Amino acid sequence: MNRLDNKIAVVTGAAGGMGEAIARLFAQEGAKVLATDIQEDKLRTWVSGAQNEGAAIEWEKHDVASETDWHIVVDKAINLYGKVDILINNAGIYPVGASTESTSVNEWEKVLAINVTSSFIGTKLCAPSMKSCGGGSVVNISSIAGIVGGNGPAYSASKAAQRLLTKDQAVELAKYNIRVNSIHPGGVLTPMTDFMVSLEASEEILKNMCPLGRIGNVMEIAYGALYLASDESSYTTGTELIIDGGVTAR
């Protein structure tokens, strides 16, 4: 407990899944959290419940592809809490069954805007507050799709770009004690993925491809984000934390 005392965190894509798990865990560990998502009703519902339980979490509707929305979010965090120490760029979309020929240019641009441009904007706008505080931590939730192929051209390209954006910003911002790292989940059941196949089918698929023989859960990703957000990882920047049950170890 209290691994994030006195820290202020912005968590995107927090209406459910990994984002909600990260926001809840950070609050439990002492952070004050601004949770954001474009799915306003889902976000407001769980945050209201968490507030009733005493959690220091606020919410804001947020289209992460919009620079205007990003200004609103960062301004709200600073107005509420005075600073931003931690940014979790978690929001993303996964176009199911996409191929090169079936992906329109508009679809391609939408995926890249939400999955990678949003991380660029968020870090750009949070960096000044982090500099003024003497440092901070940015965690980009990428994917093993940014390391290996087979997940559709737009999604794979966006996650690979997010991976290298992380490393570039880690080098650039290190002199300000701002650390930038990425997490690369493998198979994890979230609202973004659980409609694609049944739990039984997912588990059967993963038994054949995952050395640990099971699907991951959102808390396993949240604890990775907690480590990278906390001062425990003070000498870690530009790294990619792969949490995939060993899929990419083959």
Chain centroid to CA 27: 16
Sign of CA dihedral 161, 164, 166, 170: negative
241 within 8 A of 181, measured Cβ to Cβ: yes
**Closest by CA position to 115, among listed 136, 135, 92, 131:** 92
Neighbours of 198 (CB within 10 A): 10
DSSP for 46-102? HHHHHHHTT--EEEEE--TT-HHHHHHHHHHHHHHHS---EEEE------TT--TTT
**Closest by CA position to 93, among listed 40, 149, 17, 20:** 17
Distance, in Å, from the CA atom of 86 to the CA atom of 216, rounded to the nearest integer, reads 24
Q: Among residues 155, 176, 223, 235, which one is catalytic?
A: 155
Taking each helix axis from N to C terminus, what angle separates 153-173 and 105-112, rounded to the nearest 10 degrees?
A: 30
183 within 8 A of 126, measured Cβ to Cβ: no
**Catalytic residue at 81?**
no
Distance, in Å, from the CA atom of 216 to the CA atom of 122, rounded to the nearest integer, reads 27
Q: Which residues are catalytic?
A: 155
